[in-house]
Amino acid sequence: MYAVIMTGGKQYRVTPGQTLKIETLPAEAGSTVDLDKVLMVGGDEGIKVGAPYLTGGKVSVEVIGHGRGDKIRIVKFRRRKHYRKTQGHRQNYTEIKITGIQAG
């Protein structure tokens, strides 16, 4: 069984037991959260597609922890103009583990 969920403005295809890093959730490490923006659920009994979300569909996740991603460098440069600007960014994330999928 798998599901397509939406969180943090992004869509993810998830299966039970999978771990992934998503945008930061306001939950403590070790807690359980239910994500209710389920777009699609597929399995042995077929595919259910929401419009846009499945009513009654939810994905249960366990929050493993929070962290920060790798640093990326932003460089702005104009040749022959004595203009150079560098900037760095590290995105916050929440690591989760999928514990259950419930179709509506």
Structure tokens at 98: 């999928």
* Mean pLDDT, residues 23-47: 94
Residue 98: what pLDDT? Answer: 97
CA distance 18 to 97: 6
Single out the residue of 97, 96, 94 nearest to residue 17, CA to CA. 97
Average pLDDT for the chain:
95
With b for 16 or more beta-carbon neighbours within 10 A and e for fewer, the 61-79 pattern comes to bbbeeeeeeeeeeeeeeee
Between 104 and 79, residue with greater pLDDT: 79
Give 22's pLDDT tier (boundaries 50, 70, 90). very high
Residue 103: what pLDDT? Answer: 87
